[in-house]
Chains A and B, each alone.
Chain A
Amino acid sequence: MHPKFSRSLALVCFAISLTAHAQSSLQSGGDFSNSPQPNALPSDVILVKGAWSSASDSVTPVPELGRVANNVFSNQYFGLTYAISPDWTEKYSGPPPSDSGYYVLAQIRLAGTSNGTRRGSILIAAQDLFFTLTPAGNALELIDYDKESLNADYKVEQPPTLVRIANHSFVRFDYGSPVAELHWHVLATQIRCHMVQFVLTSRDTKLVESLIQEMSKMTLPAEAGPISGRGGGEVPVCIKDYARGENVLERVDPVFGERRFNPAPVRIIIDKQGKVKHIHFLSAFPDQVKAITDALFQWRFRPCLRDGKPVEVETGIMFGRAPRPAILPASQAVSE
C-alpha cells in the first residue's frame, strides 16, 4: 500500500472514530434531556439487580422456579405439586434465594378479608442443607433446632413429631404466640438435600387443620422424608462437599475481575463422566457468574458410583467471602 494512501486512510479512520466518539457522547443525554415524547420506564420492576440467582442453562429445573397456576403449586425441581383451595391465592412472589440458601417458593393467602377470623397464610420455603448457617444436617435436625431456639414470645404447642402426609414422612412442629393469638404449624420434609417446609399461619387452628388434611393430595418424590431426601432415582444424588479432596481430579480457580465481599453459593450437577453439567448460582453478581462458570466447566471429578454404576451428583460449592470447604489442589487429589 502506498504510504500516502495509508496515511490518508488512517486519517479518515481517525476522523470516523472521532465522529463516532462524538456521536456516542451525544447519544447520552446525561442529566439533561428535553425530548418531547420519551418512552417511560415500567413501574414496580426491579431493573438493577445486585447479587441474584441464575443458572448455566434454562432447561434444568432450579428450586426458585416453582409457581402457582390454576390453584396448584408446582415445583419441578422438587417434584412437588400441591393443590390449594380456590379461595387461596398467591399475591406476591418471593425474594431471590439468600446467600445462605433460603428460598421463598410461594406465599399463599386466603383471599379477601372474610370476617376477620378465618384468615391465614401458607409460606412454602426451602433451605439448602449445603449452605445453611444452622448446625443441622437434615430437615429433622433443622426443625429440632427451631424448637430449641424458639424465643420467649412463643409457646410450643406440639414439639417436632413425625407425621405422614400424602404417604410421605414429614416432621410437624406447632407453636403459637399468646400475645398475637397466632398459631404457626410447620410441616417439613427433605428433598434433594433441601428442607422443604410448609408454614401455615392463622388465628384459627381449625382452618389450619383443614389445610393439613388437604395436603394429603400433594404429590412428592419417593425420596421425600425428614432425613431421607438425598436425591437419586430420576434426579441426581445430592452429596454435601463432594467437590473436595480426591473427588476433584482437575480444578481451575475462577479469575475475578472485581474484588467483592459477598458469599456466592453454587450448586452444580456433575454428570456420570465427572464433568460439570449444570451450574446454579443461588446468589452472585454477573461478573462472578461468568468467572465461576468459565472455571467450573473445566473441573473434572471422579465419577460417583452407586452399586458399581456411575450416577449424576449434585453438590454445593461456596465461592466468595464466606468460609468455604477446603478444596485440595488437583495435584494432591490425583496423587492420592
Chain B
Amino acid sequence: MKTTKLASVVAILAALFFTGMAFAQTDPGVRSNTGVNAGQPFASVTASPNDLAFFQTGLAQFNEHQTVTGDNPGLGPRFNLDSCGACHSQPAPGGTSPASGIFPNVGPNPQSQVIANGVVNSNTNTIPYFVFANGPVREARFPFFFDQFGNPNPNAPNGGVEDLFTVSGRTDAGSCSLPQPSFNTARATNNIIFRIPTPTFGTGLMANIDDSTLLANHAAQANNRLGVGGAFNHNGNDGTISRFGWKAQNKSLMIFAGEAYNVEMGISNELFTQDRPLPGEDQLGSGLPPSCLNLAGIGYPEDITHSDGTTASTVTSDVGLFNTFMQFLDQPTPSTTSPGGATSITNGRRLFSAIGCALCHTPSLTTQASKLTLGLGNATANLFSDIEIHHMGAGLADNVSQGGAGGDQFRTAPLWGLGQRIFFLHDGRTANLLGAIEAHQSNGSEATQVEENFDLLSPSQQQDLLNFLRSL
C-alpha cells in the first residue's frame, strides 16, 4: 500500500516535471541541419573572374599561418594567434570562434593548441587560465594599469590588448626574450576582460551604409517607450560614423584588418607600421627590446604592397587582401524552416519586433551604390544592428573606452549568422542564447525594459523567438 502511494506521488511529480519541461524554452543550439550558411562571396563576385581571383587569394591569405621568419614572415614578437582564419572560422572562414564538438566541427579553440602545434615554446609560454579547448578564442585586456603594489589603478586607464603569447623560445625568434603579461595577477585583482572575434560575414555591406541612413534610423527610433537611447562612435580623423569592432571603434575593414594584423598577430603593415609593445611597455617608456625588433630580418613594415607582383592579387598587401576578402563575403543565409518550423520562426520574428529587440537590432538597412561589386550596391543588409553604441549596464561593462564609447557602451551586435555561432556577448561568457538575452538587463542598461518584455512572454512565445534567432 505504502509502495503504491509512493509510486503515485512519483508518477504525479514526474508528470508535472515533464509537463514543465515541455513548456520550458530552450536554446535550440547551433543550427546543424541546413549545411553551412555563410562564407560565400557575392554572386556578382563569383561572376567576375578577376573579383573571384581576388577573393580566393584573400581567403588563402586569411587562412595562412604566419611564422617569425620564412615564407610568411613577421609573426610577433607578441601575438594572440598566427592566422586570421584560425580565430575567424565558425562556421566558415571569416566567422568567429570554433569548437570541435559543435557543427560544423571546425576544431578545438586554436589558442589551446599553440603548444601542441609548435606555435609557441612551452618553456617560455603557458596557456592562460581563460583559454580552454572547448571555450572561445579570446583576446585579453587590462582595463587599468597596475601600481607598484600590484593594485589596478582606476586613475590610470589602460584597455589595450595584452597579447597572450610571445615568440620567445621559438627556433626562428633568435634571442628575443619576453614574458607573458601577468594574467593571474589581473585575475586576482579583477582587472582583466576578454573579447572574442567578431564574425566578418556581410561586413562589406555594413561598410557601405551611408551615415545618413544610420542617422535617419537613429532619429526614427529615438522616441521609443522602452528606455533605449543610443549614440554613434566616430572616427577621430574625419568625424564620420565608425562601425567595426565590439565598440564600433574602427572606421573601415581595411583599418580593422590592419589593426588586427598588428595587434593580434604582431605583423606590422602599411597601416600600423611598427611592431607593437604591450600598453605597459609603452607606458614604462621602454618599448620592445632591440633583440625583439626586426625578427624577420626584412625591415618594416613586414607586410607591404608588392611592386614586383604581376596581378592585382599578387601586388596587393596581405592587409589589402584581407580587406577584399571581407568586403566580398556575402551575408549569411537564414533558414526559413529550421529550427522549429516556419510558423515558429515567423512568429518569433514578429515577437522580436513587438517586444522591442528590433529597436537596436535593426533588421535591415539599405546600402548605397557600390563601385566594388554589384552585390554591395543598393542592397538590403539584413544585419540586425543599428551600428549604434548603447549603454549595456554594469553587468556587461568591461571598463574599456574606445573612441567615444565608454566602459559600458557596446555596438549593437549584428545578429546575422547567429544561428551558427557558438559563443555570445563580447567576452564569450555564454554559449546559451537565453543567457545572452538575460545579460541584457543590469543596472544602467538601455536594454533592461526590452528584456523585461521578453520575460513577459509565455514560454512558447519565448521559444518561437529563440527559434527565430537560431534561424538567422
Residues of A within 8 A of B (CB): 25-52, 92-100, 102, 104, 107, 109, 116, 119-121, 123, 125, 127, 132-134, 142, 145-146, 149, 151, 153-154, 177, 179-182, 184, 186, 197, 199, 201-203, 259-262, 283, 321
| Contact in complex: B448, A94 (CB < 8 Å) | yes
**Any chain A CB within 8 A of the CB of B24?**
no
Query: In the complex, how many angstroms separate the beta carbon of B23 from the nearest chain A beta carbon?
Result: 10
Which residues of chain B are within 8 angstroms of A123 by Cβ–Cβ distance? 225-227, 449
Question: CB-nearest residue of chain A relative to B234?
Answer: A261
| Contact in complex: A39, B189 (CB < 8 Å) | yes
A201 to B355, CA, bound (A): 10
Q: Which of A95, A100, A202 contacts B444 (CB 8 A)?
A: A95
Question: CB-nearest residue of chain A relative to B457?
Answer: A180
Which residues of chain B are within 8 angstroms of A260 by Cβ–Cβ distance? 404
Nearest 9 A/B pairs, CB to CB: A30-B280, A35-B150, A50-B406, A98-B229, A29-B146, A48-B407, A31-B280, A261-B234, A177-B354
**Any chain A CB within 8 A of the CB of B456?**
yes
Which residues of chain A are within 8 angstroms of B351 by Cβ–Cβ distance? 179-180
- Known A44-B443, A48-B399, A121-B452; contact A33-B146, beta-carbon cutoff 8 A: yes
| Contact in complex: A31, B181 (CB < 8 Å) | yes
| Contact in complex: A120, B226 (CB < 8 Å) | no
- Known A92-B443, A121-B456, A203-B456; contact A41-B144, beta-carbon cutoff 8 A: yes
Q: Known A-B contacts: A50-B401, A51-B231, A96-B444. Give 17 more (CB < 8 A).
A: A28-B147, A28-B156, A29-B145, A29-B146, A30-B278, A31-B142, A33-B150, A33-B182, A44-B443, A47-B399, A97-B229, A99-B231, A119-B455, A132-B223, A134-B222, A154-B354, A180-B453
**Any chain A CB within 8 A of the CB of B391?**
yes
**Any chain A CB within 8 A of the CB of B441?**
yes
Which residues of chain B are within 8 angstroms of A46 by Cβ–Cβ distance? 393-394, 397, 399, 406-408, 444
A49 to B408, CA, bound (A): 7
- Known A39-B151, A46-B394; contact A107-B185, beta-carbon cutoff 8 A: no
A149 to B453, CA, bound (A): 20
Which residues of chain A are within 8 angstroms of B350 by Cβ–Cβ distance? 153, 179-180
Q: Which of B153, B190, B393, B455 contacts A42 (CB 8 A)?
A: B190
Q: Which of B229, B399, B405, B449 contacts A102 (CB 8 A)?
A: B229
A142 to B225, CA, bound (A): 11
| Contact in complex: B399, A145 (CB < 8 Å) | no
Q: Which of B222, B449, B452 contacts A100 (CB 8 A)?
A: B222
Q: Which of B150, B284, B395, B449 contacts A38 (CB 8 A)?
A: B150
A-contacting residues, B56-73, CB 8 Å: none
Query: In the complex, how many angstroms separate the beta carbon of B116 from the nearest chain A beta carbon?
Result: 26
Q: Which of B190, B191, B239, B456 contacts A120 (CB 8 A)?
A: B456
Question: CB-nearest residue of chain A relative to B160?
Answer: A31
Query: In the complex, how many angstroms separate the beta carbon of B408 from the nearest chain A beta carbon?
Result: 5
Which residues of chain A are within 8 angstroms of B143 by Cβ–Cβ distance? 41, 47-48
Which residues of chain A are within 8 angstroms of B147 by Cβ–Cβ distance? 27-29
- Known A39-B151, A45-B394; contact A31-B157, beta-carbon cutoff 8 A: no
A-B contact pairs, 5 of them (CB 8 A): A95-B227, A95-B391, A104-B227, A132-B223, A262-B231
Question: CB-nearest residue of chain A relative to B179?
Answer: A32
Q: Mark B13-53, 1 if CB is under 8 A from A, else 0.
A: 00000000000000000000000000000000000000000
Residues of B within 8 A of A (CB): 142-154, 156-157, 159, 162, 179, 181-182, 185, 188-191, 218-220, 222-223, 225-227, 229-231, 234, 236, 239, 278-281, 283-285, 347, 350-351, 353-355, 390-391, 393-395, 397, 399-401, 404-409, 441-446, 448-449, 452-453, 455-458, 461
| Contact in complex: B189, A41 (CB < 8 Å) | yes
A49 to B225, CA, bound (A): 25
Which residues of chain B are within 8 angstroms of A261 by Cβ–Cβ distance? 234, 239, 404
Query: In the complex, how many angstroms separate the beta carbon of B238 from the nearest chain A beta carbon?
Result: 10
- Known A48-B407, A51-B231, A179-B350; contact A92-B441, beta-carbon cutoff 8 A: yes
Query: In the complex, how many angstroms separate the beta carbon of B224 from the nearest chain A beta carbon?
Result: 8
Question: CB-nearest residue of chain B relative to A146?
Answer: B223
A153 to B355, CA, bound (A): 9
Question: CB-nearest residue of chain A relative to B464?
Answer: A179
Total A-B pairs, Cβ < 8 A: 242
Which residues of chain A are within 8 angstroms of B190 by Cβ–Cβ distance? 40-43
Q: Which of B150, B347, B405 contacts A29 (CB 8 A)?
A: B150
| Contact in complex: A95, B406 (CB < 8 Å) | no
Question: CB-nearest residue of chain B relative to A151?
Answer: B353
| Contact in complex: B354, A180 (CB < 8 Å) | yes
| Contact in complex: B182, A49 (CB < 8 Å) | no
| Contact in complex: B283, A30 (CB < 8 Å) | yes
| Contact in complex: B394, A44 (CB < 8 Å) | yes
- Counting chain A CB atoms within 10 Å of each CB, the highest count among B144, B162, B453 belongs to B453
| Contact in complex: A35, B278 (CB < 8 Å) | no
A132 to B153, CA, bound (A): 39
A125 to B226, CA, bound (A): 9
Query: In the complex, how many angstroms separate the beta carbon of B193 from the nearest chain A beta carbon?
Result: 11
Q: Which of B236, B394, B406 contacts A51 (CB 8 A)?
A: B406
A142 to B222, CA, bound (A): 11
| Contact in complex: A44, B442 (CB < 8 Å) | yes
A247 to B404, CA, bound (A): 33
Q: Which of A40, A49, A179 contacts B406 (CB 8 A)?
A: A49
Q: Which of B191, B400, B453 contacts A48 (CB 8 A)?
A: B400
Query: In the complex, how many angstroms separate the beta carbon of A193 from the nearest chain B beta carbon?
Result: 16
A181 to B143, CA, bound (A): 43
- Known A181-B458, A261-B239; contact A33-B278, beta-carbon cutoff 8 A: no
| Contact in complex: B234, A92 (CB < 8 Å) | no
| Contact in complex: A107, B227 (CB < 8 Å) | yes
A41 to B225, CA, bound (A): 35
| Contact in complex: A29, B280 (CB < 8 Å) | yes
A260 to B403, CA, bound (A): 9
- Known A31-B181, A95-B391; contact A125-B231, beta-carbon cutoff 8 A: no
- Known A40-B190, A182-B354, A203-B456; contact A50-B284, beta-carbon cutoff 8 A: no
Question: CB-nearest residue of chain A relative to B347?
Answer: A179
- Known A100-B229, A116-B458, A121-B456; contact A38-B189, beta-carbon cutoff 8 A: yes
Which residues of chain A are within 8 angstroms of B400 by Cβ–Cβ distance? 48
Which residues of chain A are within 8 angstroms of B226 by Cβ–Cβ distance? 123, 199
A100 to B445, CA, bound (A): 17
| Contact in complex: A96, B391 (CB < 8 Å) | yes
Question: CB-nearest residue of chain A relative to B465?
Answer: A180
| Contact in complex: A95, B280 (CB < 8 Å) | no
